[in-house]
Amino acid sequence: MSKDRLRLIRSRLETAFEPAQLELVDESHLHVGHAGAADGKGHFRVRIVSDRFRDTRPIQRQRMVFEALGELMQTDIHALSISAQPPTAADTGGN
């Protein structure tokens, strides 16, 4: 189930943001015994770099990620740590 869940989350984020970079880590194993783990939902960390975040504030980026994940936030995800940034010259190979 965990690999399917990761694929689904990754697919949603790729579709919504066409990211230059996307790192998605399942940290559920670190939360065994936690209330969120008991109901089968996962704990995840995401780092995403996308042009879609240009000219947005950090809180807007968080909301955009939550919106892209939709019902997964209710059914599959208990906790989500998000780093969402627009590209910099270093991300795109520019000067």
List CB contacts of 12: < 8 A, sequence separation 6 or more.
68, 69, 70, 72
Range of the domain at 36: 2-88
Residue 28 lies in a domain: yes
- How many Cα neighbours within 13 Å face the side chain of 15? 10
Residue 93 lies in a domain: no
Residue 7 lies in a domain: yes
Contact 53, 91 (CB under 8 A): no
Q: Which amino acid is at 35?
A: A
In this predicted model, what pLDDT tens digit does every residue of 21-74 receive, in sequence order? 999 999 987 756 666 555 668 889 999 999 999 999 999 999 999 999 999 999
Residue 17 lies in a domain: yes
Indicate the number of domains in the chain. Answer: 1
Residue 45 lies in a domain: yes
Instruction: Provide the whole-model pTM.
Output: 0.84
Contact 73, 22 (CB under 8 A): no
Residue 95 lies in a domain: no
What pLDDT does 31 receive? 59
Residue 48 lies in a domain: yes
